Amino acid sequence: KAGVTQTPRYLIKTRGQQVTLSCSPISGHRSVSWYQQTPGQGLQFLFEYFSETQRNKGNFPGRFSGRQFSNSRSEMNVSTLELGDSALYLCASSAPTGGAETQYFGPGTRLLVL
């Protein structure tokens, strides 16, 4: 099975712009989670989607949003970019097991905000 894919892999934007990142989960996985990784804050949970519904959300401002499509692909959007949004954004997918859901991560999208 192909793994989780994320596009683009690298992105450079300037402050004030917006950006959309895409994630395609492993085939058959219906849950997609997003994390932000920075040297200062480590790995922080952004949100999780299952069957096009957001089930959980982390402590990020409303500039960070996401959605999931009927084919389980997901996008996250960051509006009005700030320098501090520079990070590696990781997407993970999992198959529902009714309990613990093991998450499988993609390679990430590295965003640099200038």
Partner 1 sequence: AQSVTQLDSQVPVFEEAPVELRCNYSSSVSVYLFWYVQYPNQGLQLLLKYLSGSTLVKGINGFEAEFNKSQTSFHLRKPSVHISDTAEYFCAVSTSGTYKYIFGTGTRLKVLA
Interacting residues toward partner 1 by CB under 8 A? 4, 31, 33, 35, 42-45, 48, 50, 55-56, 58, 90, 92, 99-108, 110
- Min dist CB 88 to partner 1, Å, is 9
Q: CB nearer to partner 1: give 19 or 46.
A: 46
- Min dist CB 84 to partner 1, Å, is 18
Q: CB nearer to partner 1: give 39 or 62.
A: 39
CA separation, residue 94 to residues 27, 30, 61, 98, 111 (Å): 10, 7, 25, 11, 24
- Min dist CB 23 to partner 1, Å, is 11
Q: CB nearer to partner 1: give 17 or 46.
A: 46
Query: In whole angstroms, what is the distance from residue 63 CA to residue 106 CA?
Result: 23
CA-based end-to-end distance of the chain: 37
- Three-state SS string over 24-87 comes to ECCCCCCEEEEEEEECCCEEEEEEEEECCEEEEECCCCCCEEEEECCCCCEEEEECCCCHHHCE
- Min dist CB 33 to partner 1, Å, is 6
Q: CB nearer to partner 1: give 9 or 15.
A: 9
